[in-house]
Chain A
Amino acid sequence: MTETDELAQNAPAADSDSALSTQADISGEIAGTSADYERAGRDETQPRLDYAPYRSSLLRHPTKDLHHADPETIELFAPVFGHRDVGAPESDLTIHHTGEPVGERIVVTGRVLDGDGRPVRHQLVEIWQANAAGRYIHKRDQHPAPIDPNFTGVGRTLTDGDGHYTFSTIKPGPYPWKNHYNAWRPAHIHFSLFGTEFTQRMITQMYFPGDPLFALDPIYQAIVDPKARERLVATYDHDVTQHEWATGYHWDIVLTGTHRTPMEEEEVQA
């Protein structure tokens, strides 16, 4: 076999970074899955792992069913973070450099709750995001949009005693990516969250209301249930908006349920 044959054989649809598909192809696939889902009448709350319109998922999703397991011992607890880990200035992404970052200053606030509606107290929340022009401070980001020397786009905070978190930042811009030809991600902020149990660990993305790119984005649409994916969209909240300073968004995060028994709970509180 010649090298060219080999390349041809090894370059099926799974060539994840190729820009062979059009937006119409991707949108057609999204619509097909969506119609199947509506017919099936199920209630999914999480993204599909196997979601072909997101090309990079083709070789990276498990093909076997996830194995049902009861959490045991260590899995019933979560790591503890505190003020030794996180300093107060880390929640304001606009003050990490000498100058003011460019863009629309925003405040994002909300609560982290468990599946029973209880606040997740004093726990770590990490965020990262593109700048106002849609550019990440990352060596792999080749998008020819300007880097802002006054904006890194990384923040951390601890929730308070009632599960509240607050970040001050800049509204990120949308940016192009290589999933298909003329592919653009809706503006988003990445959130990394811990609960009170290992089983609640999650990473997700917060979006902004009314983004025209929602319908076109295979990562957002991988959550095939419309109600479920809307849970990733923050709400504009004028009570969070600060006079002559920043507009405000509200976004609550609900982690999956907890599994500890009341006796184990007492041990943790003790």
Chain B
Amino acid sequence: MTLPPTPGQTIGPFYGYALPYPGDSELVPVSDPDAIRLHGTVYDGAGNPVPDALLEIWQADRDGTVARAEGSLERDGWTFTGWGRAAVDGNGHYSFTTVLPGATEPGAAPFFAMTVFARGLLNRLFTRAYPPLDEAALAQDALLQSLPEDRRRTLVATADEQGYRFDVRLQGDDETVFLQFPGA
């Protein structure tokens, strides 16, 4: 039996008092010795920051295991749940405190799975943020291999002082590659 899916709708402008919660973007405490920052800015097609977007990430733990623990909404500081949420600030900037995901299989390129919501965006968008670490694994990655070079680089984060920067461009020349999964 295959049922037709319920359509999505925009998150709208008023999610700010409903979806964000204390600790939402801190998958690990800043004091974790492995803590890194994953951050960036969401831009519209005119190159202006989008001040009303919400991003979520879902990732493997540092050793590559997929977390099956509850507690993302009430973090205890010790349990890695693999999931976080960050509303952008007035400058369109988001920031997660997390760890680098490990390879889920030997040789696989780890990535942050990311969902993008915004006012003006009629349905959520999926993308991936790859840390720029294992060049050999990145070169072997099926998704990255399927993209031309100028599109490929929109999915690879860049290292900076605190961690990794990953900007999201909803539209335009450097538009981020957004994903469509089968059956969606």
Contact = CB atoms under 8 A, between A and B. Distances in A.
B170 interface: yes
Given A51-B122, A73-B60, A256-B181, A81 B14 contact: no
Interface stretch (A20-28, A110-118, A163-171): A110-118
A231 B72 contact: no
Contacts of A231: 4, 6-7
A240 interface: no
Contact of B120 (A16, A128, A223): A16
Contacts of A192: 19
Contact size range, B: 35 or more
B12 A79 contact: no
Contacts of B56: 201
B183 A74 contact: no
A128 B17 contact: yes
B117 interface: yes
Contacts of A222: 9, 122
A79 B81 contact: yes
B180 interface: yes
Contact of A219 (B14, B60, B122): B122
A39 B178 CA distance: 28
A253 B3 CA distance: 10
B28 interface: no
B73 A203 contact: no
Contact of B2 (A59, A85, A154, A257): A257
Main secondary structure of the interface of B (DSSP, over half): loop
A69 B178 CA distance: 9
Interface in B106-133: 108, 111, 113, 115, 117-126
A140 B126 CA distance: 27
Nearest to B84: A79
Nearest to B2: A115
A38 interface: no
Interface stretch (A29-37, A41-49, A95-103, A242-250): A41-49
B45 A203 contact: no
A72 to B, nearest CB: 7
Interface in A225-269: 227-229, 231-232, 252-257, 259, 268
A232 B10 CA distance: 13
Interface string A54-76: 10111111111011111111110
Contact of B183 (A77, A115, A153): A115
A199 interface: yes
Contacts of B142: 70, 72
Interface of A: 14, 16, 45-49, 51, 54, 56-64, 66-75, 77-86, 113, 115-117, 124, 126-128, 130, 136-141, 152-154, 156, 190, 192, 198-199, 201-205, 219-220, 222-223, 227-229, 231-232, 252-257, 259, 268
| Top 7 A-B pairs, shortest CB-CB distance | A56-B120, A82-B70, A128-B18, A257-B183, A79-B83, A66-B180, A85-B73
